Amino acid sequence: VLELRTAADVADAIRRLAIRGAPLIGVAAGYGIALEPAGDPSALERAAEVLRAARPTAVNLEHAIGRVLRAARGADDPASAALAEARAIEDEEKAASDAIARHGAGLLAGAGVILTHCNTGALAAPGRGTALAVIAELAARGRLERVIVTETRPLLQGARLTTYELSRLGIPYELVVDGAAPGLIASGEVGAVIVGCDRVAANGDVANKVGTYPLALAAAAAKIPFVVAGPTSTIDRACPSGTDIVIEQRDPIEVAAAGIPARNPAFDVTPAALVTALVTERGVIR
Ligand code: MRU
């Protein structure tokens, strides 16, 4: 449990991934704005700037900051209005998570073995999460054989967080290294791939944790569904296509010893043509 007292604290927690996952980043940023003295418009703008700079790819951050700022600006009591809006965002994301779970479970009821990447559960989004919420719902309905979890290099969200969540949920899983996943998909033992998303462009291209694109290619080659789950707060209608999405470049020290020339992109873009369906709280877009 983290106790964060200022927008700068929240931004720092987001930057170092103590708070991560697109919907949760958005909710936290909303509360981050609400922590600042709302009577001082310049304090709110500064807070927004600090939070916006924390991570560039998940659009939920920008959406939540914008909402809380707008709510505070026009209000008689800006502090209460900011807090109420931050709470509303959290409640909406919780409800979205449940709806995504239902829609996604309907779509993937026959998949059997499902492969997932990164962490998209209750540690990444309010409520039950996104892709992992679909998996949990399938398990609850008795429609899931097991989950194949990728490690998710470089920071191991799959190995450290998804395995923890699946263990707690009592859902059978196996962990594999990222490089093993395309081969397992090609072998025919995976029924579907489901992942979350950090930004969906207006044309349907999807930015998600680095390593997602190879899974989409493998799924297309094996002719199995490649499904993306996320709330509509992750859709960026102002962003025409995947090439317009800013991909966060993290410190190479996360992947290589100091002095080794290394590059560390945190996300990649999967073209819409490789996405079988996008599951949102409003339903399934094919
Ligand atoms: O760098 P992270 O751990 O924030 O990346 C998270 C992801 O890529 C998730 O798939 C995405 O945010 C959706 S979380 C429900």
Closest residue CA from atom 6 of ligand 1 = 21
For residues 71 and 175, what is the distance between their CA atoms, to the nearest angstrom?
44
Is the pTM of the predicted complex or chain greater than 0.85? yes
> Does any ligand 1 atom lie closer than 6 A to the CB of residue 125?
yes
Q: How many CB atoms lie within 10 A of CB 52?
A: 15
* Residue 21 three-state SS: coil
Pocket test for ligand 1, best of 59, 98, 197, 250 (most atoms within 8 A of CB): 197
**Does the pLDDT at position 126 exceed 90?**
yes
The structure tokens listed for 171 are: 């859902």
- Lowest-pLDDT range of 78-82, 228-232, 234-238: 78-82
pLDDT in tens, 141-171: 999 999 999 999 999 999 999 999 999 999 9
* CA atoms in the 13 A half-sphere facing the CB of 142: 0
> Does any ligand 1 atom lie closer than 6 A to the CB of residue 126?
no
Identify the band that residue 38 occupies on the pLDDT scale cut at 50, 70 and 90. confident
Kind plus residue range of the DSSP H or E element containing 262: none
**Which residues are catalytic, by number?**
198
Q: Find residue 208's DSSP bridge partners.
A: 268
pLDDT at 230: 98
Please state the rounded mean pLDDT for residues 183-195: 98
User: How many residues are there in the chain?
Assistant: 286
* CA atoms in the 13 A half-sphere facing the CB of 132: 32
Q: Which atom of ligand 1 is closest in space to residue 20's alpha carbon?
A: 4
pLDDT at 99: 98
pLDDT at 263: 97
> Does any ligand 1 atom lie closer than 6 A to the CB of residue 118?
yes
CA 269 → CA 45, 138, 259, distances in Å? 31, 27, 28
Using N-to-C axis directions, what is the helix angle for 78-107 and 22-34, rounded to 10°?
A: 170
Pocket test for ligand 1, best of 57, 117, 118 (most atoms within 8 A of CB): 118
Q: Is the peptide bond before 154 cis (omega within 30 degrees of 0)?
A: yes
Read off the amino acid at residue 205: D
Read off the amino acid at residue 77: D
Identify the band that residue 232 occupies on the pLDDT scale cut at 50, 70 and 90. very high
pLDDT at 39: 80
**Does the pLDDT at position 270 exceed 90?**
yes
For residues 2 and 264, what is the distance between their CA atoms, to the nearest angstrom?
27
Each residue of 199-217: b (16+ CB within 10 Å) or e? Answer: bbbeebbbbbbbbbbbbbb
For residues 83 and 96, what is the distance between their CA atoms, to the nearest angstrom?
20
Would you say 161 and 196 are in contact if contact means Cβ atoms under 8 Å apart?
no
DSSP letter assigned to residue 185: H
Identify the band that residue 204 occupies on the pLDDT scale cut at 50, 70 and 90. very high
Among residues 90, 116, 140, which one has the least CA distance to residue 228? Answer: 116
For tokens 């072998």, what's the residue?
Answer: 187
pLDDT at 122: 98
